[in-house]
Amino acid sequence: MHPDTLLAHAGYAGDSETSAVVPPIHLSTTFCRDTDSSLPGAFVYSRAANPTRELFESLMAQLERGAQALAFASGMAASTAVFSCLYPGARVLLPSDLYYGVRKFAHSHLARWGVTVEAVDMKDMDATEDAIRNGCDLVWVESPSNPMVDIVDIAAVASIARNHGAVVIVDGTWTTPLIQRPLELGAHAVVHSVTKYLSGHSDVLGGVVVTGPDFPWPDVLSSHQQTAGAVLDPFSSWLAMRGLRTLAVRLTTQCRNASAIARHLTAVPRVRAVHYPGLESHPGHLLAARQMTDFGGMLSFEVEGGRRRALDIIGRCRVFKAATSLGGTESLIEHRASIEEDSPTPEGLIRISAGIEHTDDLLDDLARAMDSE
Ligand SMILES: Cc1ncc(COP(=O)(O)O)c(C=O)c1O
């Protein structure tokens, strides 16, 4: 089955008891034992496993073509669950541009646990190979990256990492399994913030880790999910599946809008750079065309005039909402340097998450915000 078909049904075959087309939400935290204390069903307690969460996890495993999917309370809970598989003394390699929350967690917490963290520009394969060869247990990849929209050759990084015995994790939040499937490119696991495109309506906080068959720590990860307990609750699991039903149509429109905005911006005066892999001028364009099926709904651009002008432009937008996050139906616009502590992001950089509004309304809004100075 094509992923679009799987998504349209949210992977649900129907309920044989009621013939319901949509799954129920199992809110029960606990499940009864028989008189002899045996368990008639597969469930004991909802932190360990819950039927609604399991439906969502099974759908995600199918979409990524993975061996196991584990759902968490947020994208960061999913990411930190993966890091929790490491031992003191382990070495982690991060890309130089990545979601700031992962960088912050790595530097503030992994270091306290005796895990060494290093960063490298993963667009530079020689530097990446050197860094991995110098000793590395886990390579974290994000492509396209947040917020500079760097494209990293996932298959090449995975191949080098595997040759040196390192585990490769890809943050697939920006692409979803519809645009990029990291396990097929050689990653051991893929992490998503469900909060973004997967749930898609800016009303769910969630995360998921989908592991491939040779992920080395499946039991540690699943034990972490159950014992540390930052699990996706049943209602959020259900909302995420409801959102996933329309992922294919949402994402197609978001990619089309992002591409139109990026092309529009290339002709706007006082725009220094537009970062979108769908532009032929983007240094990662050909690579992106090879490893992605579309170029995504995220872009960033740099304006002359630095922080002050970037904030003024954002403040004049009416259709774009000035808010953090991404992947919802509404277009969002944000000054990343303001939200990232100790940010390496350029002060004049504006990040856009394209929504599903009419393209003309988005272009008019941006044109008005940038012209009226
Ligand atoms: C690429 C990426 N990964 C992970 C996360 C963290 O997800 P959450 O906010 O659901 O914890 C984010 C959040 O913005 C993100 O953009």
112 with 84: CB under 8 angstroms?
Answer: no
Backbone torsion region of residue 162, taken as left when φ is above 0, otherwise alpha when ψ lies between -120 and 50, otherwise beta: alpha
Specify burial of residue 84 (Cβ count, 10 A radius: 0-12, 13-18, 19+): middle
Q: Which pLDDT score, from 0 to 100, does residue 16 have?
A: 86
C-alpha distance across the termini of the chain, in Å: 52
In short, whether 332's Cβ falls inside 6 Å of ligand 1 is no
Active site residue 196: yes
Active site residue 276: no
Q: Which pLDDT score, from 0 to 100, does residue 161 have?
A: 98
The Å distance, Cα 76 to ligand 1 centre, comes to: 6
Alpha carbons 216 and 195: distance in angstroms, whole number: 27
The Å distance, Cα 327 to ligand 1 centre, comes to: 11
DSSP string for 111-125: GGGT-EEEEE-TT-H
pTM greater than the 0.95 cutoff? yes
Active site residue 197: no
Active site residue 99: yes
The Å distance, Cα 328 to ligand 1 centre, comes to: 13
Quote the DSSP letter at residue 1: -
**Torsion angle (degrees, nearest 10) of CA 15, 21, 27, 31:** 0
The Å distance, Cα 100 to ligand 1 centre, comes to: 9
Instruction: Report helix, strand or coil for 196.
Output: coil
Using alpha carbons, list the distances in angstroms from residue 351 to 84, 88, 214.
Answer: 31, 36, 36
In short, whether 99's Cβ falls inside 6 Å of ligand 1 is yes
Q: Which pLDDT score, from 0 to 100, does residue 341 have?
A: 86
**Which residue among 137, 171, 294, 365 is the active-site one?**
171
Q: Which pLDDT score, from 0 to 100, does residue 66 have?
A: 98
Alpha carbons 106 and 118: distance in angstroms, whole number: 9
Strand partners, 211: 68, 189
Among protein residues, the one whose CA lies closest to atom 15 of ligand 1: 99
In short, whether 291's Cβ falls inside 6 Å of ligand 1 is no
Quickly tell me which residue has 């819950």 as its tokens.
Answer: 50
Q: Which pLDDT score, from 0 to 100, does residue 1 have?
A: 87
In short, whether 76's Cβ falls inside 6 Å of ligand 1 is yes
In short, whether 202's Cβ falls inside 6 Å of ligand 1 is no
Largest CA distance in the chain: 77
Among protein residues, the one whose CA lies closest to atom 16 of ligand 1: 99
Whether omega for the bond prior to residue 147 falls within 30 degrees of 0, making it cis, is yes
Question: Which residues of the chain carry a pLDDT beneath 70?
Answer: 373
In short, whether 75's Cβ falls inside 6 Å of ligand 1 is yes
262 with 308: CB under 8 angstroms?
Answer: no
Alpha carbons 281 and 365: distance in angstroms, whole number: 25
In short, whether 193's Cβ falls inside 6 Å of ligand 1 is yes
In short, whether 195's Cβ falls inside 6 Å of ligand 1 is yes
**Which residue among 53, 103, 123, 196 is the active-site one?**
196
Q: Which pLDDT score, from 0 to 100, does residue 343 have?
A: 86
Q: Nearest CA to 288 among 168, 185, 207?
A: 185
Q: Which pLDDT score, from 0 to 100, does residue 182 have?
A: 98
Q: Which pLDDT score, from 0 to 100, does residue 373 have?
A: 65
Backbone phi, then psi, for 334, in 5-degree steps? -150, 145
**Cα 277 from chain centroid (whole Å):** 17
